[in-house]
Chains A and B, each alone.
Chain A
């Protein structure tokens, strides 16, 4: 039971404390790019959560069973990028054939995150932290949920900012989005130290 509790804490801490875009500043590009409306934020959030979990499930064994015994751990980044890119393409083809409805709802978001740094980041950080396989999977899943959560908040705020005529001229467009992201990030700093 206590182990299940620990896994639950991993997820909560990845969503709130170590939130990827807002606290660790990974995956900023899609965070700012795909947060214009709630619909695409949802698609992107689901796709990232899915790919993060899947990528970690594949890269963790490769690191432990192949890279570490061969003493070529330094190839981690290169090999992981290759594997994640191939994996996402493969999953896309598989889904197109077997799960057309899911393929349709994820649409363009799946290929978009092939080389997302948050996906690579979670794969590398679970190994750096020395987590075991199950903890790694939950960390990746939590990181995806956190990304989704941040994206969702951001999209909500940005849909309120749509009418820009009340925003001072120099802040319209990208500047106000960056300021919004900064304030959100500050707000998430309030969660730090929640579980230590």
Chain B
């Protein structure tokens, strides 16, 4: 009986001491928070999701309070409403967050790509991918079974002629299709950039050209054509640096495989 009393008493005492110590410490080591920070922090949703690129809402509020050049539209949970409130507190204009859209980097329409076999299983890209990497000759391309379509809440992506196509007006850049695509074909790019490479085939020239009519063979002609150093062949695929690209479309004209699209001239085209 004595043991249990000592044990209970001791643990209670430890807890009590720790509590007293901490509450005293919070008074002694009290740091006055910047009022600006407190105001900003109050407007943030407090989800601590890290979507803004900072370690939680506190960190982000500190960043905008201390550095005026940090944009106040980074909170994706709060969206434009929160950005406006933050800007109101800071006394600046809320910049419109740059519009971004999803781009499917594949043009493997039915007439462009061959078939290995007829797939009749579950209508899902993920399932098809487990059978020899999909039913098409190109293992990197769009399987057209619409995992992205079913995940899109905005009706902004559809399979047309065997390839997923983004409706750029409806796309909200939520990124759900980006993460669901088993071949990682979809990426978020700036809505302003109108030139995109529509191929993700990482094989060498001959292998790439034998599986699809419009595959990137990594020849590098686009690289030489570009005056802005904005397109490079990485892993045998041309990749556009959207910070440098001015959407002039020179690479799209020179591409011998026609796998670069210029939406400015082909605004009516299916992609």
Contacts and interface: CB of A to CB of B under 8 A. Distances in A.
A190 B112 CA distance: 53
A82 B15 contact: yes
B141 interface: no
Interface in A31-69: 66
A94 B182 CA distance: 48
B29 A94 contact: yes
A72 B15 CA distance: 16
Interface residues of A, number: 24
A94 B25 contact: yes
A82 B11 contact: yes
A70 interface: yes
A86 B7 CA distance: 19
B122 interface: no
Contact of A107 (B25, B29, B55, B184): B55
A176 B74 CA distance: 31
A97 B59 CA distance: 17
A164 interface: yes
B22 A89 contact: yes
A107 B14 contact: no
Contacts of B3: 71-72
B11 A75 contact: yes
Contacts of A71: 3
A70 B130 contact: no
Contact of B10 (A72, A85, A90, A97): A72
Contacts of A96: 29, 31
A187 interface: no
Interface string A68-108: 00111001001100110110011001101110000000011
Given A78-B11, A86-B18, A90-B22, A169 B29 contact: no
Nearest to A165: B184
Contact of A83 (B14, B31, B202): B14
Contacts of B129: 169
Contacts of A94: 25, 29
A6 to B, nearest CB: 33
B29 A93 contact: yes
B6 interface: yes
B11 A79 contact: yes
Those 5 A-B pairs whose CB atoms lie nearest each other, nearest first: A86-B18, A97-B29, A93-B29, A93-B25, A108-B55
21 contacts: A66-B10, A71-B3, A75-B7, A75-B10, A82-B14, A82-B15, A86-B22, A89-B25, A90-B21, A90-B22, A93-B22, A93-B25, A97-B28, A97-B31, A98-B29, A107-B55, A108-B56, A165-B183, A169-B130, A169-B182, A170-B130
